[in-house]
Amino acid sequence: MYGFEAMTFNIHGGYLEAIVRGHRAGLLTAADYNNLCQCETLDDIKMHLSATEYGPYLQNEPSPLHTTTIVEKCTLKLVDEYKHMLCQATEPLSTFLEYITYGHMIDNVVLIVTGTLHERDVQELLEKCHPLGMFDSIATLAVAQNMRELYRLVLVDTPLAPYFSECITSEDLDDMNIEIMRNTLYNAYLEDFYKFCQKLGGATAEIMSDLLAFEADRRAVNITINSIGTELTRDDRRKLYSNFGLLYPYGHEELAVCEDIDQVRAVMEKYPPYQSIFSKLSYGESQMLDKAFYEEEVKRLCLAFEQQFHYGVFFAYMRLREQEIRNLMWISECVAQNQKSRVHDSVVFIF
Amino acid sequence: MEKFIDNLSPMDLMRSEKMSLVQLIIPVESAHRAVSYLGELGLLQFRDLNAEKSPFQRTFVNQVKRCGEMSRKLRFFKDQIIKAGLLSSIHPVVEPDVELEELEMQLAEHEHELIEMNSNSEKLRQTYNELLEFKMVLIKAGSFLVSNNNQAVAEEWELSENVYSSDRYVEASSLLEQQMRTADQSGLRFISGIIFQSKALRFERMLFRATRGNMLFNQAPAGEEIMDPLSAEMVKKTVFVVFFSGEQARTKILKICEAFGANCYPVPDDFSKQRQITREILSRLSELETTLDAGIRHQNKALTSIGYHLTQWMSMVRREKAVYDTLNMLNFDVTKKCLVGEGWCPVFAKAKVQEALQRATFDSNSQVGSIFHVMDAVESPPTYFRTNHFTNAYQEIVDAYGIARYQEANPAVYTVVTFPFLFAVMFGDWGHGICLLLGALVLIARESRLSTQKLGSFMEMLFGGRYVLLLMSLFSIYCGLIYNEFFSVPFHIFGGSAYKCRDATCSDAHSAGLIKFRDPYPFGVDPSWRGSRSELPFLNSLKMKMSILLGVAQMNLGIILSYFNARFFRSSLDIRYQFVPQMIFLNSLFGYLSLLIIIKWCIGSQADLYHVMIYMFLSPTDDLGENELFWGQRPLQIVLLLLALVAVPWMLFPKPFILKKLHSERFQGRNYGMLVSSEFDPDVEPDSAREHHEEFNFSEVFVHQMIHSIEFVLGAVSNTASYLRLWALSLAHSELSTVFYEKVLLLAWGYDNVVIRLTGLAVFAFATAFILLMMETLSAFLHALRLHWVEFQNKFYHGDGYKFKPFSFALITEDDD
């Protein structure tokens, strides 16, 4: 019942919404980032973080720190919070929360499969996986030789199974195939998530469709840019675009035929929301595009908190926290490698 | 009068301690010692002079980091000690303080030692686990394979089935044999190993899928639990044997085993070989066990020796960290040879602070002494009350509303008595009072024991308020005696009742009433009122009037305190245009009502006070008729009414206009603002005394004054009405206890049945304990709290100060516990 969430939302979702808003208040602020950017060593970063919500997770780390430890511990905090929320959630919020992790699951599957293709150690690969995207039999992925086996052996048990129906081939796995698989899976996942949110209705549908549409459009642009100059045909490229979003369908037609970055730019500038992103970039430049997209995303995610009684806040919080961890990773890397001049290149301020 | 007030001896708790802003200039070499002496003294609150610097830009950041590192090590030791289950045996030993550097070395050494020991024992433990697992696999998997061997001997498998039909794995073994018979030709092979029980099912499913069903999976739970090296918990594992054929299947299965974390151990086909290996393993196991035990003993010894010092070390590191955190708040002076600190310190403690500084200079053989001098302060000093065990709880009650402004009259002085008393008015029952008293006495008797141990949040609250509880219970007994209620039963304690029956049978006592035959009952309510027809009207009228008397008295006290505040801060404006009209307004209306109540009680008149009060406003000139209580009441009422009417504009208009006049006089002719040069930046010199030139906004002041006046005028009515809660809660309490006594206890006692009587008694006891003693105590407590916070304190209390938080070692509590 659209517009009447206020009457019933709090019965099941009120507690968790309060929790998630409390977590959001714990995100690092611009002042925190300023202080972090001035740090000289990783110990300084640890010391500064110990005054924030990350404190308990970092306090027992012995002193020669590594960037990976910091990122690992910060991610652990996110995972703990996520698990807590998932435990407390009831339907349909629990399904919604599970949907948030599918993206990581796809990434993990791709990571393991690529890794085994290049004969890497499974244990080592497992450590690199995002903990949010872990599922029980993930280590078994290494056994599979082709897509069909991959599906039949492992993925049939996971929530990713339905998305796989489109990309089951008996072809052997190679880098190109895996990349296409990743995009097909992600595409199917986004569409499914979008449909699920539409089914939930109300403010959730409204806000989430906006956020997911942005995600889909960003992916469309990224796929286009990355596939320029590869052997991917136009039709195949077209297939990888999601069937919703602002660019659907006419933008997709145009993107599918783009041959260089400036053509992409010309397509995107027809869409007012994306004009501002591309107007920041100089012609022919695609390096800063990621950052520009991230900034736009963060802005949209923050706006999700302006409205109450919807599930978008959970999605937004998880994304914001991930962005924060990316920021922390970048800052710590810059500090560790004495490249402090480049700190601001990739940090996206959240507030 | 003025003289009399001036000559009153100063009350300690009435005004907060006089504070002064002091500056310390300490030579670097004695700074650490000086700060730690000050921490022991605990009477100086340092101001952060480096607030704009982030934590890692400060001077002593390295030391703070080192302390953090050391406390991390100490936490590690503590974890290890708890893990080894040794914490109970710790007796802190008092030893002379070791140097920080020395301690750091010691800690590093201990940590290194412990980590080495841990890794050693971990390695041992791993080998031990592996052997143990191998042993189990041998035993269990052997039992799968045993049938295989037997079958070879027995030749006829039907026969062997008969022989082994009593076997536990009858189905499995017979199936197995079927397979084995064909296996001889097709090269059937097997892998045996051990896996976590929780993963076994999924493992089997995965194997099934990977080999397309061409395998046979046997499993049996391992007999013993095995310690998981990661979580150090005992986990259950399952031994499995997979039979399959083909090389490709083998690689697949091995990969799956690896993915599932299953450990594979080869089991020889040959029975005698199996036995031999088992023997070997058993002997190695026992060897390892002794080694492990020795290792654990060694480790425990090391941990115990650490444990002896742990508490001391922890408190020492905490102190050091606090000292460096404080040193980080200090500034270096220009020459970089001295540290400059600023802080608040109570005036009485100046000598002690100076003495501590001198001691520090002397002890660290410094050439230059520390300089200590008083500075002028712009901001208002912190509020510091020296409380003791008894007054602390009452001060907390006041502080919970707001910390007193510096040197403002402290309501806690009066709260000590008025709070328990107002509580008791609502909770008057001397039976319940005695129960509370016993509870309070238990808490106080165990004070020394309870104060050292950690209590739950509820007990902590109860314990913190033990002296409040004590006075509350004493006053409850007093009020209960006045109400003459003991679990709602009246007693003839102070002599006989003043009433007697009209005739001998006393049959019409409830209809026609009793007659008075002697002097009134000497103390409290006459027991004969209980159960009579007019009990409620009488008690209600009594308690209602009493509530108003108490309320008017307390509100007057509040206004009088505002007078003392105004006197103390030398603001004659507040006395003339706030205190005086407020006094007149309140007393001409509700003070007069109180007077009428007292006169009515004294002369026993039947006048209707409602009528008097209402017609005092509606038609003040009318004749009072039968409601006249004393001569000249009508003119008095007219005068009072006029005074009240005059008081309202009196408190509203003059003050803002006079303030405006004063302001314009002060800045007369000063049409130019002060030049603000760039050097004179407020951030550069935060300590110099500068005159804060505030813009005078007349409309703001006027609106403010208007709000205050309206609040007071309306508040006079609503606050007086609010005091009627004393009556309402007291009524509710006595009615509730009557219900429980009459409808539960007496009803049950009416039956001649032990079970019913006991049930009744139990229900009565529970109701008394939980509803009357706990819930009612809480509700009466809350209402008393409200009467103090709102009705009493809004007359004079600003409550916008901030608390004095001295740098003190005694206040550093364990933050990680």
DSSP secondary structure string for all residues of B375-436: E--SSPPPB-----HHHHHHHHHHHHH-PPPTT---THHHHHHHHHHHHHHHT--HHHHHHH
Is residue B22 over pLDDT 70?
yes
Contact B252 A143 (CB under 8 A): yes
Distance from the Cα of B127 to chain A's closest Cα (Å) equals: 21
Q: Which residue has the higher pLDDT, B669 or B550?
A: B550
Can you give the pLDDT at residue B168? Answer: 42
Is residue B151 over pLDDT 80?
no
Share of chain A above pLDDT 90, in %: 26
Can you give the pLDDT at residue B256? Answer: 82
The interface residues of chain A toward chain B in range 143-162, judged by CB-CB distance below 8 A, are: 143, 152-154
The DSSP element (H or E) to which B104 belongs, if any, is: helix B100-154
Is residue A2 over pLDDT 60?
no
Distance from the Cα of A34 to chain B's closest Cα (Å) equals: 10
- Mean pLDDT for chain B? 82
B750 in A contact zone (CB under 8 Å): no
Is residue B92 over pLDDT 90?
no
Annotate chain A with three-state secondary structure.
CCCCHHHHHHHHCHHHHHHHHHHHHCCCCHHHHHHHHCCCCHHHHHHHHCCCCCHHHHCCCCCCCCHHHHHHHHHHHHHHHHHHHHHHCCCCHHHHHHHHHHHHHHHHHHHHHHHHHCCCCHHHHHHHCCHHHCCCCHHHHHHCCEHHHHHHHCHHHCCCHHHHHHHCCCCECCHHHHHHHHHHHHHHHHHHHHHHHHHHCHHHHHHHHHHHHHHHHHHHHHHHHHHCCCCCCHHHHHHHCCCCCCCCCHHHHHHHCCCCHHHHHHHHCCCHHHHHHHHCCCCCCCCCHHHHHHHHHHHHHHHHCCCCCCCHHHHHHHHHHHHHHHHHHHHHHHHHCCCHHHHHHHCCCCC
Could you read off the pLDDT of A268-278 as tens digits, one per residue?
Answer: 888 888 888 88
Can you give the pLDDT at residue B1? Answer: 63
Q: Hey, which residues does B195 pair with through a beta bridge?
A: B238
Contacts of B82 in chain A (CB under 8 A): none
Share of chain B above pLDDT 90, in %: 28
Assign residue B315 a region (left: φ > 0; alpha: ψ between -120 and 50; beta: otherwise).
alpha
Distance CA A95, CA A80 (A): 18
Phi, psi (degrees; rounded to nearest 5) at B516 = -85, 130
Could you read off the pLDDT of A223-245 as tens digits, one per residue?
Answer: 888 888 787 788 888 888 888 88
Can you give the pLDDT at residue B779? Answer: 94
Give the E-state strand segments of B257-359 in sequence order.
Answer: 263-264, 331-332, 338-346
Share of chain B above pLDDT 70, in %: 87
Is residue B66 over pLDDT 90?
no
Q: Hey, which residues does B217 pair with through a beta bridge?
A: B242
When pLDDT is averaged across residues B275-284 and rounded to a whole number, the result is 85
Could you read off the pLDDT of A247-263 as tens digits, one per residue?
Answer: 888 888 888 888 888 88
Is residue B643 over pLDDT 80?
yes
Tell me the pLDDT band of A208, cut-offs 50, 70 and 90.
Answer: very high
Q: Which residue of B has its CA nearest to A59?
A: B72
Tell me the pLDDT band of B477, cut-offs 50, 70 and 90.
Answer: very high
The DSSP element (H or E) to which B458 belongs, if any, is: helix B457-464
Can you give the pLDDT at residue B163? Answer: 39
Q: Which residue has the higher pLDDT, B504 or B420?
A: B420
Distance from the Cα of B200 to chain A's closest Cα (Å) equals: 12
- Residue of B315, B316, B320 lying closest to B60 (CA atoms): B320
Can you give the pLDDT at residue B809? Answer: 84
B256 in A contact zone (CB under 8 Å): yes
Angle ∠(A187,A189,A190) on CA atoms, nearest 5: 65
When pLDDT is averaged across residues B447-474 and rounded to a whole number, the result is 86
Is residue B728 over pLDDT 60?
yes
Can you give the pLDDT at residue B437? Answer: 95
Is residue B667 over pLDDT 80?
no
Of the candidates B54, B57, B255, which has its C-beta nearest A142's C-beta?
A: B255
Can you give the pLDDT at residue B172? Answer: 43
- Is the pTM of the predicted complex or chain greater than 0.80? no
Please name the amino acid found at residue B87: L
Can you give the pLDDT at residue A283? Answer: 64
The interface residues of chain A toward chain B in range 151-210, judged by CB-CB distance below 8 A, are: 152-154
Is residue B468 over pLDDT 90?
yes
Written out in words, the top-level CATH class of the domain with range A1-81+310-350 is mainly alpha
When pLDDT is averaged across residues B215-227 and rounded to a whole number, the result is 78
Q: Which residue has the higher pLDDT, A15 or B685?
A: A15
Is residue B546 over pLDDT 80?
yes
Contacts of A48 in chain B (CB under 8 A): 54-56
* Best of A123, A143, A156 to mutate (most B CBs within 10 Å, chain B): A143
Distance from the Cα of A211 to chain B's closest Cα (Å) equals: 36
Q: Which residue has the higher pLDDT, B352 or B161?
A: B352
Of the candidates B54, B72, B260, which has its C-beta nearest A139's C-beta?
A: B260
Can you give the pLDDT at residue B499? Answer: 82
Contact B256 A143 (CB under 8 A): yes
- Mean pLDDT for chain A? 85
Can you give the pLDDT at residue A276? Answer: 83
Contact A140 B57 (CB under 8 A): no
Residue spans of the domains in chain A: they are 1-81+310-350
Residues of chain B with CATH 3.30.70.120: 122-147+187-293
Can you give the pLDDT at residue A180? Answer: 84
Distance CA B215, CA B121 (A): 39
A19 in B contact zone (CB under 8 Å): no
Can you give the pLDDT at residue B241? Answer: 84
When pLDDT is averaged across residues B532-542 and rounded to a whole number, the result is 88
Give me the DSSP letters along B491-550.
---SS--SEE-SSSS-TTTTTT--EE-SSPPSSSS-GGGTTSTTHHHHHHHHHHHHHHHH
B649 in A contact zone (CB under 8 Å): no
Where is average pLDDT lowest: A119-133, B286-300, B328-342, B499-513?
Answer: B499-513
Fold of B122-147+187-293: Alpha-Beta Plaits (3.30.70)
